[in-house]
Amino acid sequence: MPKKNIIFVFLFSLFIPLNYLTLISSQLTDFQEALEFRTTSGIPIYLTAFQQWTFDVISLLCDSIIVAISVGLVCYFIKELKIFMALLFGLLSRYIIPIGFLLYSSQKIPTSLFADFSKHLDLRLYILISLQLLLTLYFSYLGFTYGRSTDYFDPKDKALYYLYGLPKKIWLLLFISFVPVAKFLSKLTIVQIYDATDKITSMNFWKDTFSFSNIFSEDSARGITGLLGHIIAIGFAWAIAIALFSFGLNAIRNKESKYRWLKIGVVFLLVPVIIVIIPLIRNRTWFF
């Protein structure tokens, strides 16, 4: 196999984490700032320790799934890739952004600041860093196993320049076009998780839920039904996005499909543009 083709596969697979890693964590800071303006009796609202840990763990899981997809793609194209190479690529996929930032900032930020930062690492950060490393390795292994055992979806994929029968340059455009959709869904996910954890940590919520008058209540905003509603909303929104992406993808592959270009334009152009434009027209953001 030519080295040029192998390098191309690795770069293509790295494109996914470069665009989709830290979807939750990168927007959590904005959410926390917005939350502080939603004061209760003049007192800013802050995330509780339970909520912070919840967001941290969910963010780590989301990032690990992205890493698994990245490693899986490499192993899908290069079946003979060794497991230690897959694990190393998984680590590179996960830490390519921090590594790039450190290489860039080391030229401009005094080393004393890095030393001061290391002194302020607490137990929580040590736990998260360790958990992040373990999850990265585990999901890299999952991606390695699934990618190597998966048969080619299309005979063209053996050429390494195709995926699912489509040129990789088309996939790059699709990944870029769906970034606004992914960011929209991540914000929705953050808000729904916050509302769910806010209920879980509220004694008034549990007293109201298990009060005799509300045991048989059909009010979907309260009780276990309301709590599960937040989880269902997250799953439903992501499922619609995946179905929409698949619909547009099939329209690209099927050249005989009716209104083919209309379908492609709606899914990969109109929907992302609407998600970006509507907040600008309303002079506000979607959720925070």
Tens digit of each residue's pLDDT (9 = 90 or more) over 45-56: 888 889 999 999
Residue 41: predicted pLDDT:
59
Residue 220: predicted pLDDT:
47
Looking at the chain, the whole-number percentage of residues with pLDDT higher than 90 is 48
Domain boundary (161, 196, 216) is at 161
* Residues 130 and 220 reside in one and the same domain: no
CA distance 63 to 61: 5
Q: What is the pLDDT of residues 28-41, one digit of tens each?
A: 888 888 887 766 55
* Residues 121 and 218 reside in one and the same domain: no
Residue 128 lies in a domain: yes
Residue 116: predicted pLDDT:
53
Residue 94: predicted pLDDT:
93
* Residues 10 and 114 reside in one and the same domain: yes
Cβ distance 93 to 70 under 8 Å?
Answer: yes
pLDDT band of 119, cuts 50, 70, 90: low
Query: Which residues on adjacent β-strands are paired with residue 167?
Result: 162
Rounded to 5 degrees, φ, ψ at 166 are -115, 145
The overall average pLDDT reported for the chain is 85
* Residues 187 and 235 reside in one and the same domain: yes
* Residues 72 and 28 reside in one and the same domain: yes
The tokens of 110 are what?
A: 């005094």
Q: Is the pLDDT of residue 279 over 60?
A: yes
Looking at the chain, the whole-number percentage of residues with pLDDT higher than 70 is 83
Residue 171 lies in a domain: no
Q: Is the pLDDT of residue 175 over 80?
A: yes
CA distance 14 to 66: 10
Tell me the three state secondary structure of residue 256. coil
Q: Is the pLDDT of residue 156 over 60?
A: yes
Q: Is the pLDDT of residue 109 over 70?
A: no
Domain boundary (113, 130, 161) is at 161
Residue 214: predicted pLDDT:
54
* Residues 20 and 153 reside in one and the same domain: yes
* Residues 157 and 182 reside in one and the same domain: no
Residue 218: predicted pLDDT:
47
Place of tokens 């991540």: 186
* Residues 196 and 260 reside in one and the same domain: yes
Residue 74: predicted pLDDT:
94
* Residues 157 and 219 reside in one and the same domain: no
pLDDT band of 142, cuts 50, 70, 90: very high
CA distance 231 to 227: 7
217 CB burial (10 A radius; 0-12, 13-18, 19+): middle
Q: H-helix or E-strand containing 232?
A: helix 223-253
Residue 55 lies in a domain: yes
Task: Choose from 94-98, 111-115, 149-153, 186-190 the range with maximum mean pLDDT.
Answer: 186-190
pLDDT band of 44, cuts 50, 70, 90: confident
Count Cβ atoms below 10 Å from residue 171 Cβ, excluding itself.
Answer: 19
Residues spanned by the domain of 235: 178-288
Report, as an integer, the average pLDDT of 123-141: 93
Cβ distance 86 to 71 under 8 Å?
Answer: yes
Report, as an integer, the average pLDDT of 96-102: 80
